[in-house]
Structure 1
Amino acid sequence: MRFRSKIVDVSCLNHFTRVINTITKLTKTCTLRLTSSNLYFILTDKVANGGVSMWCELSQGNFFDEYQMEGVCVEQNEIFLELIPENLSRALKTAQNSKSVKIKLTNKHCPCLTVALELPSLSSSSRIVTHDIPVSVIPRRLWNDFKEPSVPEFDVSIYLPALKTMKNVVERMKNLSNFIVIEANRNGEMNLKIETDLVSVSTHFKDLGNPPWVSDDASQNSTQEKDTMAEARIDIRKLLQFLAGQQVNPTKAICNIVHKRMVHFILLHEDVSLQYFIPALA
């Protein structure tokens, strides 16, 4: 089992750092799945028990100048590691002026992801700064626990408003309640609502648009059905954590709502996709 990679391009390094920073804001620990073509950062808290789930997929060819890996066996050329993403984020913070960053799997008293930074110096030779990040190797028998989360058939899919705007709205609402209702329809309308015994507050967004994968059958439904709202009541802190931690700068941000069951967010960049699942509360 071997893994080594290298990033030289500054823009690729900065982009990779932003992705890791985003994941750090979303979870304390996660699973890193390495394949020959992709990297996956996975969080699989049981949605049924009120936990969130995350699935972040990166194409390695868009980030790394060099990338080599050998999995545990020929049949399944993959490696699964458990790590604390904040440790990787801290290591990358010192990499902003580096000539290159090497990341490899090592064994130093315990399995580690070793991040070696080549930093410029006044002399002809470069300085190498090394960070050893402890990881746990996940045995093959447990790999099935880290499959991509299945998405139930959603009732509404809608583009999100500017994430910064949405974050500012939710930040104000969090002082009023621990819960928020997200509702949307197939006419490109979305509402964020707080309802308590003392106050009722709502923010309305219009003309957001619906993704093209909304079925033809749905588009042929009556106007009344297109106006029908699907909704989910969720933990406002989990929503704010998602919005506040976002540094991926997506080209598209989408919200899928399974009525009274789940909210599924998708952030799409040309070389990154991040899915985030928040279960609905009764």
Structure 2
Amino acid sequence: MKFRAKIADTGCLNHFTRISNMIAKLAKTCTLRISPDKLNFILSDKVANGGVSMWCELEQESFFSEFQMEGISAENNEIYIELTAENLSRALKTAQNAKALKIKLTNKHFPCLTVSVDLLSISSSSRIVTHDIPIKVIPRKLWKDLQEPVVPDFDVSIYLPVLKTMKSVVEKMKNISSYLIIEANLNGELNLKIETELVCVTTHFKDLGRPPLASGSASQGRNPEQMAEVRIDVKKLLQFLAGQQVNPTKALCNIVNNKIVHFDLLLEDVSLQYFIPALS
């Protein structure tokens, strides 16, 4: 089992750093899946038990100038490792204005993901900063629990408003209630609503649009004005919104009535799926 990769382009390095920062805000501990053509950051808390789940996918050829890996076997040419996301984010912060970044699997008394940063220097000498990030190698028998989540049959799919605007609204709402109701319909209307014994506050977004081909079987024949809704922990939604480091080219919200909300963000060469379950 081997892995080594290099990023030599400054733009790619900065983009990879932003993605790492985003993952660190969304997950304390995550799984990194390494395959010949993709990297995946995975959070697989059990949605049925109230946990969120995440699937972030990066096309390796869009980031790395060099990429070599050997999985556990020819038939299972993948590597799954568990790491603390903040450790990777901290290591990459030293890579600002670096000439190059190298990442590889090593064993230094314990399994590590070693990050080597080639820093610019005023003199002709090179300065290398190395970070050894402790990891846990995940055995093959546990891989089945770390596969891409299946998007449930949704009632409504809708484009999201500007995420910064949505975050600003939710930040104010969290001071009033611990939960929030997301409502949306097929006419492109989205409501963020909180209700308490003393007050009901709703923020309305209109004309957001419906993604093309966005039609789960549950939405067939549905009244376009009928709202689908899901009641979720306001802090979990705010954590998701606060974690966004770059503006996505597309941001979708799929609602499975009273069960789950699925966010699907498409960035340049990166996709992120995030699931928040309904409160019981």
- Confirm or deny a common fold (TM above 0.5): yes
Q: Secondary structure at the match of 2:76?
A: coil
**Equivalences, count:** 280
CA separation of 1:146 and 1:99: change in aligned 2, threshold 3 A = same
- 1:201 maps to what in 2? 201
Q: Partners of 1:183 and 1:86 in 2: how far apart?
A: 33
Q: Deviations over 1:178-225 (max 9, x none)?
A: 000000000000000000001100000000000112339899847xx0
- 1:149 maps to what in 2? 149
**TM-score normalised by length of structure 1:** 0.97
RMSD of aligned Cα (Å): 1.4
CA separation of 1:217 and 1:273: change in aligned 2, threshold 3 A = closer
Q: Secondary structure at the match of 1:83?
A: strand
The letter of the residue matching 1:72 is I
CA separation of 1:148 and 1:219: change in aligned 2, threshold 3 A = closer
- 1:232 maps to what in 2? 230
Shift of 1:151: 1.4
- 1:104 maps to what in 2? 104
- 1:120 maps to what in 2? 120
Asked whether 1:20 is paired with 2:20, we answer yes
CA separation of 1:161 and 1:87: change in aligned 2, threshold 3 A = same
- 2:39 maps to what in 1? 39
Q: Secondary structure at the match of 2:224?
A: helix
Q: Secondary structure at the match of 1:231?
A: strand
Q: Secondary structure at the match of 1:99?
A: strand
Say which of 256, 259, 277 aligns to 1:258: 256
Shift of 1:248: 3.4
Q: Partners of 1:159 and 1:48 in 2: how far apart?
A: 26
The letter of the residue matching 1:144 is K
Q: Partners of 2:213 and 2:221 in 1: how far apart?
A: 15
Which aligned pairs between 1:1-282 and structure 2 lie closer than 5 A? 1-215=1-215, 221=221, 225-282=223-280
Q: Deviations over 1:36-85 (max 9, x none)?
A: 00000000000000000000000000000100000010001000000001
CA separation of 1:128 and 1:220: change in aligned 2, threshold 3 A = closer
The letter of the residue matching 2:264 is I
Q: Which runs of 5+ in 2 are unaligned?
A: none
* Identity over aligned pairs, percent: 71
The letter of the residue matching 1:159 is Y
Answer whether contact 2:153 2:218 (CA < 8 A) is retained. Answer: no
Q: Deviations over 1:88-133 (max 9, x none)?
A: 1001101012110000000001110100111122332201110000
Q: Partners of 1:127 and 1:57 in 2: how far apart?
A: 31
Shift of 1:272: 0.3
Q: Partners of 1:85 and 1:96 in 2: how far apart?
A: 18
Which runs of structure 1 show a deviation greater than 2 angstroms over 4 or more consecutive aligned residues?
Answer: 214-222
Answer whether contact 2:154 2:219 (CA < 8 A) is retained. Answer: no
Q: Partners of 2:81 and 2:235 in 1: how far apart?
A: 28
Q: Partners of 1:257 and 1:6 in 2: how far apart?
A: 39
The letter of the residue matching 1:58 is L
CA separation of 1:124 and 1:228: change in aligned 2, threshold 3 A = same
Q: Partners of 1:271 and 1:132 in 2: how far apart?
A: 27
CA separation of 1:216 and 1:82: change in aligned 2, threshold 3 A = closer
The letter of the residue matching 1:230 is A
Q: Secondary structure at the match of 1:166?
A: helix
The letter of the residue matching 1:63 is F
Q: Which runs of 5+ in 1 are unaligned?
A: none
The letter of the residue matching 1:7 is I
CA separation of 1:216 and 1:235: change in aligned 2, threshold 3 A = closer
